[in-house]
Structure 1
Amino acid sequence: MPDTRFTLPSWNTLAGLADADLPLFATALLIARDEYPELDPARCDRLLQAHADHLRTEVSAIGEWPLKVAAINHHLFNELGYSGDHDAYYDPRNSYLNEVVARRLGNPISLALVQMEVSRRLGLPLEGISFPGHFLVRLPVEEGVLVMDPFNGGRPLGVDELRERARSNLGGRTPDDQILARILDPAPHRAILVRILRNLHGVYAEAGQWDRAARSADRILTLAPRQNDALRDRGMAYLHLGHDAGARSDLAGYLQREPDADDATQVRDRLVGLGSGRPRLH
């Protein structure tokens, strides 16, 4: 019989929760259940708890936080074999936490979730960073923050490498200390979950799997109703699916919210193609 002591939240409760109250690990599994309806969340919970329990005595005996997290990383990435999926980076399984735990393969954000959750259960406040292009994690330390790359074995990253990585995503501009510090701010739980769903939407849209693309955009709107891009993305997915009424509603709603968006003309043209005419904006 499945263990029912660990349960998932309900989608209809999440939008109203404060960010700090959003259960990150459980909501990531909730996202996975859309694709895997038979998912057993308690089994995933037990697997991560086993990782933490294996480490508990060793980590408790270590005094310094950086050395504690080094022991966690060694167990996860060297002994258990969690690793970044360099061969099939855009495989959607790399975004679904149940698959990541089962295959021990993932993308940067899903591996970060495993690393963060195991660390949390061991009392370490590991945080996510919505770094441009590549999700990272951070650990507060006395002299600042220790930044690590979960996609590459939890490797620590120095300031020069962080500047270079950021520069390639800032139009070639090297960030100064203030900008880099802002980039390295911890990501809110809601932003992390939305980023997972954006990744899935992108993968499914690229593959022309418009039902799954629409579902991913819809879940973003459930978590964060003011995510205007997700409203447009759901509308475009509905358009591909032939759900004209839904497409009209979403695309018109997007233009009401973003009348001066860079893609407003293209979206209006789509609406005209649906026979709606130019929408009346308020």
Structure 2
Amino acid sequence: MRPLVPPPPERSAELRRRFAEEARSPRPDLSALCLLVGAVADGALDEAGLDAAQVELDRLAGQLPFRPGGPRAWAEALRDLLGGRYGFGGSAGDYRRLESSLLHSVLQRRRGLPILLSVVWLEVARRAGAPVYGVALPGHFVVGFGAEDAAGERVLADPFAGGRLLSGADAELLVLQATGVPLEPSMLRPADPLEVVLRILNNVRAWAAARPERSDVALWAVELSLLLPSHPARLRYERAQVLVQRGEFVRGAAELEAYAEVVAAVDAPAAEQVRQQARAARARLN
């Protein structure tokens, strides 16, 4: 397995600028955002590689039947092409690999996490003109075909399982296994591109959190998350913690103090605790 080496600082800064610009555009492009995440993670992904990944998505879309029919026909066509002919899918082992969260790698390996495989399904289907949208079920991302609202036929497919079509009972079971609670209608609403990207970055942060030696990955994942127009304020606290973990005590302390100012307006005792953490970080310089 080729080790992932991040790009040099100048290239990384340019990629982040482009990521922020795309995220703030009127209609953010999901594939572009996911590929920029990959380029920040993998310095070997150059401009030619970014273009090649988009071309591959176009190529796959070109192999779908022309307007095969209703939502079920579209879902079956994607299943047969991506899950069947090309073998896109996932297994438990894919959760242990950072590459499973990077779109360019998923296109090459045809393996990945549910959400990245769903991105492949979404982007290929969208290019072919399918009525498709992402569905962020708790713990397991899937793809919906058909009307985004309650009207008309809707079909769910699980790209992680090769595009298996899901019955209502199947979807119920996925949610129950992930959360222990029943499926609610609100869980079936379409996910917008920025929600998808934030969830991908959440997965990367979770991967890095389980590997303290990969604080470099934790840092770029949280910093990209902070570039999204809407993100949890607590990410600033997480970034500060990662900086301290990496020995960047001054920057970490400054981030903690800035976060404390935000918290102070709603929870003064919590803000004071964060300030104490900032003082402790600065004390580690002595």
Instruction: State the TM-score bracket (shorter-chain normalisation).
Output: 0.7 to 0.9
The 8 Å contact of residues 214 and 234 in structure 1, kept in 2 or not, is answered as: yes
Q: 2:280 aligns with which of 266, 273, 282?
A: 273
In structure 2, distance between residues paired with 1:204 and 1:94: 13
The 8 Å contact of residues 135 and 143 in structure 2, kept in 1 or not, is answered as: yes
The 8 Å contact of residues 201 and 212 in structure 1, kept in 2 or not, is answered as: yes
Mapping for residues 220-231 of structure 1, pairs under 5 Å: 220-224=225-229, 226-231=231-236
Give the aligned residue type for 1:163. Answer: E
Give the aligned residue type for 1:250. Answer: E
In structure 2, distance between residues paired with 1:231 and 1:185: 28
Q: 2:157 aligns with which of 148, 151, 154?
A: 148
Give the aligned residue type for 1:274. Answer: A
In structure 1, distance between residues paired with 2:91 and 2:215: 24
1:279 maps to what in 2? none
Q: Per the alignment, do residues 267 and 205 of structure 1 end up closer, same or farther by CA in structure 2, a change over 3 Å counting?
A: farther
1:124 maps to what in 2? 130
Q: Per the alignment, do residues 69 and 162 of structure 1 end up closer, same or farther by CA in structure 2, a change over 3 Å counting?
A: closer
Q: Per the alignment, do residues 221 and 189 of structure 1 end up closer, same or farther by CA in structure 2, a change over 3 Å counting?
A: same
Give the aligned residue type for 1:174. Answer: P
Q: Alpha-carbon deviations, 1:67-102, whole Å to 9, x = none?
A: 122112111011101111322313100011110001
| Matching of residue 187 in structure 1 with residue 191 in structure 2 | yes
1:4 maps to what in 2? none
| Matching of residue 160 in structure 1 with residue 164 in structure 2 | no
Mapping for residues 111-260 of structure 1, pairs under 5 Å: 111-141=117-147, 143-170=152-179, 172-175=180-183, 180-208=184-212, 209-224=214-229, 226-259=231-264, 260=267
Give the aligned residue type for 2:158. Answer: D
| Matching of residue 41 in structure 1 with residue 45 in structure 2 | no
Structure 1 position 108, deviation (Å): 0.5
1:92 maps to what in 2? 98
| Matching of residue 80 in structure 1 with residue 83 in structure 2 | no
The 8 Å contact of residues 258 and 264 in structure 1, kept in 2 or not, is answered as: yes
2:18 maps to what in 1? 10
Aligned residue-pair number: 259
In structure 1, distance between residues paired with 2:76 and 2:268: 45
Q: Per the alignment, do residues 166 and 204 of structure 1 end up closer, same or farther by CA in structure 2, a change over 3 Å counting?
A: same
With normalisation by structure 1, the TM-score equals 0.83
Structure 1, unaligned runs of 5 or more:
1-7, 277-282
Q: Alpha-carbon deviations, 1:196-223, whole Å to 9, x = none?
A: 1111111112111112211110000012
Q: Alpha-carbon deviations, 1:99-122, whole Å to 9, x = none?
A: 000111100011000000000011
In structure 1, distance between residues paired with 2:116 and 2:20: 23
Structure 2, unaligned runs of 5 or more:
1-14
Structure 1 position 158, deviation (Å): 2.0
Give the aligned residue type for 1:271. Answer: A
Q: Alpha-carbon deviations, 1:153-205, whole Å to 9, x = none?
A: 111222223233333455x4434xxxx22111111111111111111111112
Q: Per the alignment, do residues 255 and 53 of structure 1 end up closer, same or farther by CA in structure 2, a change over 3 Å counting?
A: same
In structure 2, distance between residues paired with 1:12 and 1:135: 24
1:280 maps to what in 2? none
The 8 Å contact of residues 48 and 118 in structure 1, kept in 2 or not, is answered as: yes
In structure 2, distance between residues paired with 1:36 and 1:262: 41
The 8 Å contact of residues 59 and 68 in structure 1, kept in 2 or not, is answered as: no
With normalisation by structure 2, the TM-score equals 0.82
Q: Per the alignment, do residues 263 and 75 of structure 1 end up closer, same or farther by CA in structure 2, a change over 3 Å counting?
A: farther
Q: Which has the higher helix share?
A: 2
Percent identical among aligned pairs is 26
Q: Per the alignment, do residues 181 and 197 of structure 1 end up closer, same or farther by CA in structure 2, a change over 3 Å counting?
A: same
In structure 2, distance between residues paired with 1:121 and 1:50: 10
